[in-house]
Structure 1
């Protein structure tokens, strides 16, 4: 559910919606006589690009303090940081402006945008349904650093951020200071750092070398958590409510802004 090969399912959904939008605009213009040289499909792609830039800039502005602390993360569009409610109006206005002298392009391009948004909305609804059907935190069987069995048969009673990581994974290493800081910033949220496939000695040595301290470090020797939650890559960050139900997820390196958005949006009042 969370990924298709190396790609986040949310990236696939956006790509599919853009493809449908392009096909609709292209087919509608073909059905109309006396079409101009510039196609509605190419206008739609230009509008999509403009909308995506605006959506990204809007998101960055909303979480500016977090991005200012690490300016390079502004370019990390893999964090999924886009505000569609900013990008969509910009894309529509772009179409209206560019087609002001060529009205034949307007209807096909706008219908393409409408079709793409319908596909995107339907896919988001489907993903939400699938996410509700995803196994809860209780499905995990992990180990403590001392080799003891750790289970979650009883709800923790607090929201949980569960991070799947490994010491050999560069994106995991880059995002760990962000998670360590969040652990301090949100004492009402439990942060579980679940190592995938490594021995306790390796994990202890890595954390000591990096000067990182986490309250809850657990081991998953067979990487069963990745199979349980459908993750196809590391790092993966999962967000559970106080009842242990998955409410959000992020595959790949997470930025401070994306982490803060998920925690404040799903796990804190």
Structure 2
């Protein structure tokens, strides 16, 4: 998994793109007569705020049924649920309207936006290439809750979602119902819940206390999966295709809309609830 400290690299690429847009707008404005470089930079930051809000609201609208079932998940922006094209569109419209009376400012600000968007797209492409060199589905020997040995390679041949969790981890506990629902809605994929560093008794006690029914719960007392996948914290969710290639990852609590979004984009697996409609 690619990141800096406990944060996903996508956070830093977005921040870097915004900074580049801000600096570009100011530099271009400095070269023009009667154009305030401070106003150009300020407008970029204002536009970014409106753009992020629009991108989030558009994503919520896209997955309204899932978000409405758990309204508090709407503010869980850590699920990285943003419709970026909608955000960029709102940024451009906002800048166009704000510069109706100061059209000399429009060029520098739009130049900043273009620089930021291009940098963000290029960074995303590089990250996708780096994702291709990530570790494959590890062939680790783990055990089930009843202490039966099992190898992760037994799940190969179909999409696999690995979730690394522990009962002491609050975000892990909160997202468990998401995977309980997902294993029913996406029956063509394997949802493998790998407990990190705890005993069978601890894991089983948690599952029973929360009335959770999860079909594939494995134990990893030595946290070897975290080491093999270079995970930086819990919970971590890893998405492998049928060939065992890592195609996506999520550090932190994942919501149902975000999980469904990744499943549909990475595996082209519509949920059974949507196909029944």
TM range (shorter): over 0.9
1:176-187 matches, cutoff 5 A? 176-187=176-187
SS at match of 1:191: strand
Structure 1 residue aligned with 2:195 = 195
| Structure 2 residue 252 is the aligned partner of structure 1 residue 252 | yes
TM-score (norm 1): 0.95
Is the Cα contact below 8 Å between 2:27 and 2:37 reproduced in 1?
no
Is the alpha carbon distance of 1:154 and 1:138 closer, same or farther for their aligned partners in structure 2, counting shifts above 3 Å?
farther
1:13-92 matches, cutoff 5 A? 13-36=13-36, 39-92=39-92
**Structure-2 separation of matches of 1:246 and 1:59:** 24
Aligned-residue CA RMSD in angstroms?
A: 1.6
**Structure-2 separation of matches of 1:232 and 1:34:** 49
Offset at 1:139?
4.3
Offset at 1:264?
1.7
Is the Cα contact below 8 Å between 1:165 and 1:196 reproduced in 2?
yes
Structure 1 ranges of 4+ moved more than 6 A: none
**Structure-1 separation of matches of 2:41 and 2:191:** 46
Q: How many corresponding residue pairs?
A: 269
**Structure-2 separation of matches of 1:127 and 1:87:** 21
Is the Cα contact below 8 Å between 1:138 and 1:151 reproduced in 2?
no
| Structure 2 residue 113 is the aligned partner of structure 1 residue 113 | yes
Is the Cα contact below 8 Å between 1:96 and 1:106 reproduced in 2?
yes
Q: Quick one: higher RCO (CA 8 Å, sep 6+), 1 or 2?
A: 1
Offset at 1:229?
2.2
**Structure-1 separation of matches of 2:105 and 2:97:** 11
Structure 1 residue aligned with 2:123 = 123
Is the alpha carbon distance of 1:129 and 1:38 closer, same or farther for their aligned partners in structure 2, counting shifts above 3 Å?
closer
- Structure 1: stretches of 5+ with no match in the other structure: none
